[in-house]
Structure 1
């Protein structure tokens, strides 16, 4: 059965917003006492900074995933039951991000912490990659009224799929590299973020507007 994409997109937006809210709850300020030693206060702040750095990584990545998901669904003309299931699979991994973010924030220099974080992010980005591939193979994307629009829609979909693959590969590398060098694993975590901020060859917002005008 093929249906509109609106409900799936709205539901996904809500889940991702909730996950960001849950993550910020990990940043708990301690109750400072006037009699506390300076070193105790420093230790509290150090732990808070660790959680904040982990929060930044995850906040930016959820923002990137939300943006990619938004553009993906705005390029779709319709959805089907299997795509809805794939979307739920993607959201399942999204809901695990606050857990591994908390683990990473509490133990940022433990290899198992970065490996767990990399594993969840790998499965999240890989599920988004698979969704993109599925929409291309099953002709769920919009058919524009001109060949130019169709070519741009296809090109944007392929570029998005390629970026998702590169992000997945970076997270895949981070898992074994966590046990070699923690710092290299953090470099791997930064690659998908840097990739997102590279200049795009096609303005996706303008393309979406053209699709809406011609639909």
Structure 2
């Protein structure tokens, strides 16, 4: 069976690449007129720790999302309108990650940290929904999937995406009172997706 999703995957790769590149725009070097000595430069670099944290989290989040996107399309061989729009929803959210990243960088160390973290965790709730939607549409029509994929493999991939959803919701809910804990949960989920992305490959069984 010939794969019909090459254009979708190519376009998606381009969007992921642009989204991950945009993150670096929030990293700023100090002006020469403001910072003159080594101690002032070190002080400036230390003060930018929230920017480095936000950049690192978002970079690896988008990278792992790309890995999962690549692997899920190893199982999707055909396309329909639903798949194209669900994939478009993913790309829309991925391209928007740079904005909550900027909010996190600017406000995480201040009084508005709860709102900044809520916006940041909230977009990942939506991203998780978008991945679940894409796989739901694809997996409910086996003709769209790789020939020979088993029902147990489909179920395993389905469960893998569903597991993260309630955890993202918890992180979003507690971000209004405990933003640091909510961000820590997001970091744990990042590790979970990095490890569990291998489960998508089980569809070869």
Residues of 1 paired with 2:33 and 2:193: CA distance?
Answer: 43
Q: Per-residue deviation at 1:155?
A: 4.0
The answer on whether the counterparts of 1:163 and 1:195 sit within 8 Å (CA) in structure 2 is: no
1:141 aligns with 2:141: no
Q: Give yes or no for the alignment of 1:120 onto 2:123.
A: yes
1:124-151 C-alpha deviation (Å, 9 max, x unpaired):
111011111111112211122xxxxx32
Gaps of 5+ in 1: 145-149, 211-215
Q: Which residue of 2 aligns with 1:177?
A: 174
In 2 relative to 1, CA 171–206 (structure 1 residues): closer, same or farther, beyond 3 Å?
closer
TM value normalised by structure 1: 0.81
User: Counterpart of 2:48 in 1: which secondary structure?
Assistant: helix
Q: In the alignment, is the contact (CA less than 8 A) between 1:72 and 1:157 conserved in 2?
A: no
Moved more, 183-192 or 62-71: 183-192
Post-superposition offset of 1:190? 1.6
Q: Output the TM-score relative to the length of structure 2.
A: 0.85
Identify the range of structure 1 (129-138 vs 179-188) with the bigger mean alpha-carbon deviation.
179-188
CA RMSD for the aligned pairs? 2.6
1:128, 1:91 → 2: CA distance? Answer: 10
Deviations 1:25-56 (A, max 9, x none): 11111134597467753442134321111111
Matched, 1:107 2:110: no
Question: How far is 1:206 from its partner?
Answer: 9.5
